[in-house]
A and B are shown apart, each in its own frame.
Chain A
Amino acid sequence: MKRVNAFIGRIPEWAVWLAGSIPLALLTYDLFNGGLGVDPVRDIEHRLGRAALYFLIGTLAVTPARKMFRVNAIRLRRALGLLAFSYAFLHMLAWIFFDMGLLWQQMLGDVVKRPYLLFGMTGLVILLALAVTSNRASIRRLGRNWLRLHRLIYPAAILACLHWLWALKLWTGWPLICAGAILVLLLLRVPSITRKVSNISLKTVS
């Protein structure tokens, strides 16, 4: 584990941002090279949304990885979380501009009326609150409350997940696997489960 942690310790934060922009770069490339298929609007929207969820899963994985496997990537967690927020925000912009074509009245009505849109929007508002308080000054100023505030990532992840599942006509493999991953990562935060799993995993690792 020491070597892994030493390696992670050498990764600069900008490298996470660089790697994190790969999905966006690929999407842009496909957009200009006809790689998006018949309905580019849907592809843009869905790919941005999925990227947001993947980074959210990555963010949630940092703490269990440290507690259970002693893999310490806490330095990179902020970048992962901000990437999740950035993709979620772009996902919303794609919905507003490309999908809904700026039909504000219908959008507003839909958000109020449709649970999955309400879930998505609420999740995004939470991520926004976490993003704006992710700087050092906020951490210092909020003190213990900062930790409490940032636990809101748990409901945000659940909402993001429901947002996806609820929008589907049928529940299929991949969305359910992602939902399962989020569920496991949240369960690993239950103290008794954390203890049990880390007892087993740390024995095998060390």
Chain B
Amino acid sequence: MKLNWSDVTPEAIWLNRRSFMAGAAAGSAVIAATPAFALSGRASAYSTDEKPNSFEEITNYNNYYEFGFGKEDPARYSDALTTDPWSVEIGGLVDRPGSYGVEDLVPENALEERIYRLRCVEAWSMVIPWLGVPLAGVLEKAGVQPGAKFVAFETVYRPEEMRAQRGGGIDWPYHEGLRIDEAMHPLTILATGLYDKPMPNQNGAPIRLVVPWKYGFKSIKSIVKITVTDSQPRTSWQSLQPSEYGFYANVNPEVDHPRWSQATERRIGSGLLGGRQDTLMFNGYVEQVAGLYAGMDLARNY
């Protein structure tokens, strides 16, 4: 689809609509009248004021290797994934293990809008208005036990619906993990929507992780399993190429990926001559998260 300038909503109207939606969320009577395909989230102090990428850009430029290795493949092929019904199995060191519905984990009336920067390890970036809830609250609901040190995540394995899972490349299903303090950090969210819409399949429907200070591949999509453990979990990219993809994968302009510099990045949508911008330490979330890594050598724990 080709967009013209006439399709662009003027920022003032757009911002207005946002505060209207935020206001609407406050009254439950209005929520009942809201059609099922629209979502809204409370504005959050954690949001950046940078201009978000368009819905078009966010949903047509994705790394989601289960649907293919090209950036357009997810938009092309992810329709095949059934996202309803869906449940997430929470287990390991929790008091209330079990199978949880998406609606139980992320109730619509608890949604927050988190406008986050996203930085891909391939040195491109976007700004995305996610809708979700802090992961911490979800884990607390399941009751994290004292011995917990890490959280492991797993993406759905459905080769009949996810065409690239029929081939090799990655040892499916996709795995990711966080240290427990990273998982409990208020910036870490489970997202079920973006831009006032339910999460599009290519972006990780129905429920995905978003960890904005880490490279995009840490933010695992279409989660079916969350396991709280006492040992560092195996992650897909780390198993594939440990010299290039570490467990932490924190955005760090000073630690280069062996094959491409991480000092700068290209913001998607900035045009042919948009050039590059400097990459910020922890993707710009240094104030919030630097404390998590105090005393650690980030060149070794990359």
In Å, the complex CA distance between A109 and B262 comes to 12
Q: Is B57 an interface residue (CB 8 A)?
A: yes
Known contacts A98-B272, A101-B276; A172/B71 CB under 8 A: no
Known contacts A38-B269, A113-B256; A106/B2 CB under 8 A: no
Of the candidates A38, A99, A169, the one whose C-beta lies within 8 Å of that of B268 is A38
- Is B56's CB under 8 angstroms from A38's CB? yes
Of the candidates B122, B124, B259, B263, the one whose C-beta lies within 8 Å of that of A114 is B259
Q: Which of B3-41 contact A (CB under 8 A)?
A: 3
In Å, the complex CA distance between A37 and B65 comes to 19
Interface size class of B (residues with CB under 8 A): 20 to 34
In Å, the complex CA distance between A177 and B210 comes to 36
- Is A33's CB under 8 angstroms from B2's CB? yes
Q: Is B286 an interface residue (CB 8 A)?
A: no
Contacts of A109 in B (CB 8 A): 261
Residue of A nearest to B268 (CB): A39
- The interface residues of chain B, by DSSP majority, are classed as loop
Q: Which of B243-259 contact A (CB under 8 A)?
A: 256, 258-259
- Is A38's CB under 8 angstroms from B272's CB? no
Contacts of A22 in B (CB 8 A): none
Q: Is B172 an interface residue (CB 8 A)?
A: no
Q: Which of B174-201 contact A (CB under 8 A)?
A: none
Contacts of A39 in B (CB 8 A): 61, 71, 124, 268
In Å, the complex CA distance between A143 and B3 comes to 57
- Is A103's CB under 8 angstroms from B276's CB? yes
Count A-side interface residues using an 8 Å CB cutoff.
Answer: 28
- Is A37's CB under 8 angstroms from B72's CB? yes
- Is A106's CB under 8 angstroms from B266's CB? no
Residue of A nearest to B2 (CB): A34
In Å, the complex CA distance between A33 and B266 comes to 22
Known contacts A97-B273, A101-B276; A41/B259 CB under 8 A: no
Q: Is B173 an interface residue (CB 8 A)?
A: no
Known contacts A38-B61, A172-B69; A106/B56 CB under 8 A: no
- Is A172's CB under 8 angstroms from B169's CB? yes
Give 19 pairs: A residue, B residue, CB < 8 Å, sorted on A: A34-B2, A37-B60, A37-B71, A38-B57, A38-B71, A39-B71, A40-B272, A100-B276, A101-B266, A101-B275, A106-B263, A113-B256, A114-B260, A166-B259, A167-B259, A169-B69, A170-B65, A170-B169, A172-B69
Nearest 7 interchain pairs by C-beta:
A101-B275, A38-B61, A34-B2, A101-B276, A170-B169, A38-B57, A38-B60
Which residues in B have some Cβ–Cβ distance to A below 8 Å?
2-3, 56-57, 60-61, 65, 69, 71-72, 122, 124, 169-170, 240, 256, 258-261, 263-264, 266, 268-269, 272-276
Which residues in A have some Cβ–Cβ distance to B below 8 Å?
33-34, 37-42, 44, 97-103, 106, 109-110, 113-116, 166-167, 169-170, 172
